[in-house]
Amino acid sequence: MKPLMEAMLPGHRTMNPCPVWEQKNGCVYLFFICVQSHVTERHQIMTGRNAARLCLIYSQDAGCSWSEVRDLTEEVIGPEIEHWATFAVGPGHGIQLQSGRLVIPAYAYYFSHRLCCFPLACRVKPHSLMIYSDDLGVTWHHGRLIQPLVTTECQVAEVTKASGHSVLYCNARTPNRRRVEALSSDCGEYFEAQALSQQLCEQPPHGCQGSVVSFQPLVIPNRCQNFSDKNTPSTQQSPLLGSALELKEGVGTASETWLLYSHPTNKKHRVDLGIYLNQSPTETACWSHPWVLHHGPSGYSDLAALGEEGLFGCLFECGTEDELEQISFRLFTEKEILGYVKKD
């Protein structure tokens, strides 16, 4: 392992790496932010003066060599930066949709106006959004903020129904003791459906980053089980599904893709990293109880679906006394997850 010296700007610190793989050309795009040295996030929020730059490097040889850094701040954000106290991408991974669109999750601390040259601190709120490219990474744009709910670090996954229609699912960190789940029917430009999760908790006071990935299961059952009540099958429609999505998706149709989600399971502390399974992402109460991947302190994580054989990888922070002691990697299978869900 060696430092990636290309991922930097002079006088700045590099933060929040977020890669995405473009399959057609075999190119890895690595997004990150560069923040002016010695300028804290709190200072940016209080003054409303952004000190972050949106940066990108890419590799066409599986990471052996990298391009020079490219500053995309003006191209992607433009004059809207005047209303962003600060922003970040990831951390984690982006995805490429079936349409070819590349999607990078991000969030911005937004304010609408200033008073005596400063934003009202109580009016500066973070909201997730997507950065995307429809030309295989040549140009990049950003979608609309996920509002009104307060959201920060997030990840997304594409969910495909048996009917062939797909939606973009977003799972975001919040300070509200519950995760936010949101759905977009236009590939991330706008998330028309959003709600606090009924099952996925956050640790107070600020929550913790989590990871989500979609995959095509080897076997698809007819219905998900309602894990809020083990004895009651779920046929209830998700509150996320508005009328627009109902029309496009078809209520009650089976999902071709499932979701995995990783996050510390303890409701008060960053302890016991768990893996949750959702067999029907557009229906309510379909998250399984967590399978604990690591017992003890644990923090940020990033999931990956490896091929089509039901194999997954999870990179995560963990330790014995503190979650920041080390970074570990664990492989596991769909069979292991389903085995736990059936026993539970």
- pLDDT score for 236: 39
d(CA 210, CA 195): 17
Ordered by where they begin, the domains of the chain are 8-145 (2.120.10.10), 158-184+197-217+254-343 (2.120.10.10)
- Mean pLDDT for 110-128 is 79
- Mean pLDDT for 26-44 is 97
86 with 148: CB under 8 angstroms? no
338 with 312: CB under 8 angstroms? no
- pLDDT score for 161: 83
pLDDT at 231 over 50: no
92 with 18: CB under 8 angstroms? yes
d(CA 328, CA 298): 10
122 closest CA partner among 203, 45, 177, 178? 45
Using pLDDT thresholds of 50, 70 and 90, give the confidence band for residue 309. confident
- pLDDT score for 120: 65
pLDDT at 251 over 60: no
Question: What is the tens place of the pLDDT at every residue in 147-179?
Answer: 999 999 999 999 998 788 899 999 999 998 999
- pLDDT score for 239: 55
156 closest CA partner among 142, 143, 180, 172? 172
- Share above pLDDT 90 across residues of the chain, in percent, rounded to a whole number: 77
- pLDDT score for 164: 82
pLDDT at 246 over 60: no
The dihedral sign for the CA sequence 50, 141, 95, 183: positive
- pLDDT score for 122: 63
- Mean pLDDT for 28-47 is 96
Rounded to the nearest angstrom, the gap between the alpha carbon of residue 2 and the centroid of all alpha carbons in its chain is 26
H helix intervals, 2-100: 41-47, 73-76
- pLDDT score for 66: 97
What is the pTM assigned to this prediction?
0.90
> What does the radius of gyration of the chain's CA atoms come to, in whole angstroms?
20
Rounded to the nearest angstrom, the gap between the alpha carbon of residue 113 and the centroid of all alpha carbons in its chain is 28
d(CA 1, CA 140): 30
- Share above pLDDT 70 across residues of the chain, in percent, rounded to a whole number: 87
Using pLDDT thresholds of 50, 70 and 90, give the confidence band for residue 195. very high
- pLDDT score for 282: 81
Q: Which residue has the higher pLDDT, 127 or 244?
A: 127
